[in-house]
Structures are given as C-alpha cells and as structure tokens.
Amino acid sequence: MTLRWPAEAIWEVVSPLLPGFTVEILPEIDSTNTELMRRARAGQTEPVLLVAERQTAGRGRLGREWKSDAQGRGETLTFSLGLPLVPADWSGLSLAVGLSVAQSLHPRLKLKWPNDIWLEDRKLAGILIETASVGTQRYAVIGIGINIVAPTATDLRTPPADLREVLPEVLAPDVLAHLVPPLIQALQRFEQFGFTPLVSGFAERDLLLGREVVCTDGTTGVARGVNASGALLLHTVSGLQKISSAEVSVRPQTNPACAN
Ligand code: BTN
C-alpha cells in the first residue's frame, strides 16, 4: 500500500508556531531518533518532523530494541520531532508528551507511567525522548512509535494493542496529521508552565492509579498518582515513596534489576 503523507498540511499548521519547521518523510532509516541525534550533534538544530515508513534499528527506552512494521506499509507509525527546547524545568516532559498523544488519539487510551500508552492493559505506543546539548542550546528529540495494526511480534511479555481496535480503518498518515500540531502546542505550554498544570489530566488517564505495582528493584506498593515533577507516588509498607526513574510493572517480576 502506498501511503500518502500529509507533509504539506502539517507544515502549514505548524510553521506559524515553529519558525523554520520542516517535515521529512523517508521510506527507510535506522532510527528516526538516531538520525535526529546525529544531526543535532553535527549542529543541525532546526525544528523538524522526521517520519520513517520503516526503521531498521528502532530504539526503545532503557536501551531496548523497538521492533516495528518491517514492510513499511503503515502498520506502525514511527516518527521523531526534533526541536530546541528551553523549559525552566525538564521534569515531567515525557509524561506531558504521553498525555498529549493519548488525548489526541482516543478517550480510552491510558498512560502507564512514565509515558507508555496502553489500551486495556496492553501497550499501544511508546515514547523515547533524548536531548543533545549544542552550544548553549538543548535540542530535544521526541520519538514516538504507535501500533496502527497489531504487530505480529510474539516475544513481548504482554501482547501489544493497536489503534484499529478503537479506530477501525485508521491510517498512519491521518494519525500523524491529527497528533503533531497539538503535540507542538503541548510542548510550548510545557516550556512555559511545566508539568504542574497537567497533573490532573494525567490522573484521568493513569493506568496505574490505585493498582498494586512492582518496581524493578522489587519495591511493591499501590500507585497513588504522580506529583508536579512527574514522579510516581507509591504507597509502600514503609510509607509514600517517590519513584523517578524505575520501571514499574502491574504484575510480579522474578528478575529485578533496579534502575531507580
Ligand atoms: C519505548 O516504548 O521503549 C519507546 C519506543 C519509541 C519508539 C520510537 S519509533 C520512532 C523513534 N525512533 C526510534 O528509534 N524510537 C522512537
């Protein structure tokens, strides 16, 4: 299937908000995040939306691989947004991105702290945020991968979800056009106001809220939402703990490796 990407339509909406913005669609690349990080390190720090129909070395959080649609037929939407960002406080950025994406996509989508997007207890989309320091500037690369059609990969602990479960027939290019402009507005609001105004919006979609969770260091507790810095609040036997950088699971784990 040949995909028709709405590059011009996105550019028209976004460029007044983000001067110098460009949109690039590539049939194939190793990873859209890797490419924008390479460019940033080489001094290219203009705002850009880079979409790849196929990634040969997609990357996930914590050094994991991100497998996606090997054929490039729109079964997965993979893109990165690169832009200079100057927030007063970076904490909560990844949660703000997840919230914007979930809000743009569907009311039934939930957020699994810190920024995975889930549908009915299965992962539907992932977000990888990286930053590069270029001179005095910080350049943020926000990579997003969304399952449009259920992936056939079977080595995942939990079978993935896909957007067609809630939006039958939806196409990757339409999803892109729908979520990029609000994402840019959300980033600009985040730059000005930080995560604090988003705490209640996150709570409305918080998959973990009130649930028993297990942290990668073995800590267990009941999730009590997130604070204004985007840390997960966990009610444990030794009191309320703030989790800033662990992975959490809603099921017991047998091989913990603490990342906190
Ligand atoms: C995760 O869930 O661990 C994050 C997955 C992020 C995947 C996207 S796909 C577009 C961009 N390029 C990458 O290599 N990774 C991100």
- For the segment 105-140, what is each residue's pLDDT rounded down to a tens digit? 999 999 999 999 999 989 999 999 999 998 889 999
For residue 13, give the nearest of 173, 193, 183 by alpha carbon. Answer: 183
Q: Is the pLDDT of residue 255 over 50?
A: no
Within this chain, do residues 40 and 11 fall inside the same structural domain, yes or no? yes
What does the alpha-carbon distance between residue 150 and residue 171 come to, in Å, rounded to a whole number?
13
* Ligand 1 proximal residues by C-beta, below 6 Å: 31-33, 55, 58-61, 64, 66, 78-80, 116, 126-128, 143-145
Domain of 239, in residue numbers: 208-252
Query: Could you tell me if residue 260 is inside a domain?
Result: no
Q: Which of 54, 73, 122, 123 is catalytic?
A: 123
**Residue where a domain stops, chosen among 162, 180, 203:** 203
| CA-123 nearest atom, ligand 1 | 2
Atom 3 (ligand 1) nearest CA: 60
Residue 235, pLDDT score: 96
Query: Could you tell me if residue 1 is inside a domain?
Result: no
Within this chain, do residues 140 and 241 fall inside the same structural domain, yes or no? no
Residue 68, pLDDT score: 75
Of the pLDDT bands very low, low, confident and very high (cuts 50, 70, 90), residue 84 is: very high
Residue 154, pLDDT score: 52
DSSP state of 217: T
* Averaged pLDDT, 214-237: 94
Within this chain, do residues 169 and 141 fall inside the same structural domain, yes or no? yes
Query: Could you tell me if residue 2 is inside a domain?
Result: no
Domain count across the chain? 2
Within this chain, do residues 194 and 244 fall inside the same structural domain, yes or no? no
Query: Could you tell me if residue 68 is inside a domain?
Result: yes
Task: Return the best residue to mutate from 32, 122, 128 for the ligand 1 pocket (most ligand atoms within 8 A of CB).
Answer: 128
Which residues in 151-228 belong to E strands, given as ranges?
212-215, 220-226
Ligand 1 midpoint to CA 128 (Å): 5
For residue 48, give the nearest of 179, 166, 180, 156 by alpha carbon. Answer: 180
Residue 258, pLDDT score: 35
- CATH code at position 248: 2.30.30.100
Q: Is the pLDDT of residue 14 over 50?
A: yes
What does the alpha-carbon distance between residue 205 and residue 110 come to, in Å, rounded to a whole number?
5
Query: Could you tell me if residue 108 is inside a domain?
Result: yes
Give the residue, 3 or 47, on which the prediction is more confident: 47
- CATH code at position 75: 3.30.930.10
| CA-55 nearest atom, ligand 1 | 14
What does the alpha-carbon distance between residue 21 and residue 15 come to, in Å, rounded to a whole number?
5
User: pTM of the predicted model, to two decimals?
Assistant: 0.93
Sheet holding 212-215, edge to edge: 239-243, 232-236, 220-226, 212-215, 248-249
Within this chain, do residues 172 and 236 fall inside the same structural domain, yes or no? no
What does the alpha-carbon distance between residue 138 and residue 146 come to, in Å, rounded to a whole number?
26
Distances (CA, A) of 50 to 9, 53, 54, 56, 208: 15, 10, 12, 15, 32
205 is catalytic: no
